[in-house]
Amino acid sequence: MRLATSLMYDGNPRTAADQVVALEKAGLDSVWVAEAYGFDSPTLMGYLAAKTETVKIGSAILNIYSRTPGALLQTAAGLDNVSGARAILGLGVSGPQVIEGFHGVPYAKPMARTAEVIDVIRRGLKREPLTSDGVFHLPLTKEHGAVTGLGKPLKILTKVERDTIPIWIASLGPKNVEQTAEIADGWIPHLFHPEKAHLVWGEALAAGNAKRQEGLGPLQVMAGGMVAIGEGPETKALLDFARPLFALYVGGMGAKGKNFYNDVARAYGYEKEAEEIQDLYLSGKKKEAEALVPTEWLEAANLVGPASYVKERIAAFEEAGVTDLTVVPATEDPAATVAQLKEWMS
């Protein structure tokens, strides 16, 4: 497995980005930058490209609603250039709460849009004229509101660093995961439980891999969580720091019936907890919701405990098909922690 991390910051992201330099020297393979509805990923990724030399730099994720396929193509090509061919394009549909509540764009046809965006980007990187006749209409014709004479397909103006850039998809629903296994280079699940993942996504992954597009290598998978290596109860107590994140997604990322993360919790077998967490979270009782996140889930999804247990977790993620273990060190010396994990994984 390769070793990855997410850019974590609670203040100025420049400080967090500067710390990636030490992680790179310790053996980190890739760093991923989230966007949600905070800072945009490409700006921070460009900053990381200037600060680092070897680590791959991925977006996790850019949603496919707030930018056109052409804009995503430009972003991918630009990042790949300034990073010296180290860019990874992580895409996803996000959810109605972000797409409609922050970007003001209808959350419509997510799967069709995903397939079309990826197709346009891949053809665009090969400097083919941008054309499409599905969700998007490229070139835009008079029938779709353009001024007569402007509907001529264009290709990207600049020379690209690579004509193929890895495209990963963040997906959770069975149909979305099946599509990911069919058309993407990599898959980014969230709140991943290694021992239960096959119960939720096994059939979808198998169905998608059976239709996998020609020319794509084996599907890569990135998952992981917090890491802290230690024997005492104070180390185990660090798991509580993960509770707010789990509760936020299971309880607060969407209304009832429209929360994909809540669906995953139920599919893992935590139906009762998922319902109670959502009820509490949506009523403003966040602390009570956090307390109900199953400890079993927290222990499985993170790498916190004695060295022997952390090694077991590494093996469990690998057994579940994870190729890129993403870790968030909860330690005084993150670089040393990354170096230790790298040694165990080599």
* CA distance linking residue 219 with residue 216, whole number of Å: 8
* CA distance linking residue 319 with residue 130, whole number of Å: 40
Mean pLDDT of 174-198: 98
pLDDT score, position 142 = 61
Structural domains of the chain, count: 2
pLDDT score, position 148 = 52
Are residues 245 and 191 part of one domain?
A: no
Are residues 267 and 170 part of one domain?
A: no
Are residues 71 and 158 part of one domain?
A: yes
Q: Which of 104, 102, 20, 96 lies closest to 54, judged by CA?
A: 20
pLDDT score, position 144 = 55
Parent domain of 96: 2-228+303-345
Are residues 65 and 123 part of one domain?
A: yes
Mean pLDDT of 244-262: 94
Bridge partners (DSSP) of residue 328 are: 226
Cβ atoms < 10 Å from Cβ of 288:
15
Taking 80 as the threshold, does the pLDDT of residue 294 lie above it? yes
Split at pLDDT 50, 70, 90, the class of 259 is very high
Average pLDDT, the chain: 95
Are residues 101 and 246 part of one domain?
A: no
Are residues 49 and 108 part of one domain?
A: yes
Mean pLDDT of 158-177: 97
Mean pLDDT of 285-309: 98
34-55 pLDDT, tens digit each: 998 999 999 999 999 999 999 9
Q: Give the percent of the chain with pLDDT over 90.
A: 87
Are residues 219 and 163 part of one domain?
A: yes
Are residues 135 and 10 part of one domain?
A: yes
Mean pLDDT of 297-322: 98
Mean pLDDT of 210-239: 96
Split at pLDDT 50, 70, 90, the class of 97 is confident
Are residues 203 and 134 part of one domain?
A: yes
Are residues 11 and 113 part of one domain?
A: yes
Are residues 114 and 35 part of one domain?
A: yes
Taking 70 as the threshold, does the pLDDT of residue 252 lie above it? yes
Q: Residue 211 is part of a domain; what is its CATH number?
A: 3.20.20.30
Are residues 26 and 110 part of one domain?
A: yes
pLDDT score, position 145 = 52
Mean pLDDT of 225-241: 94
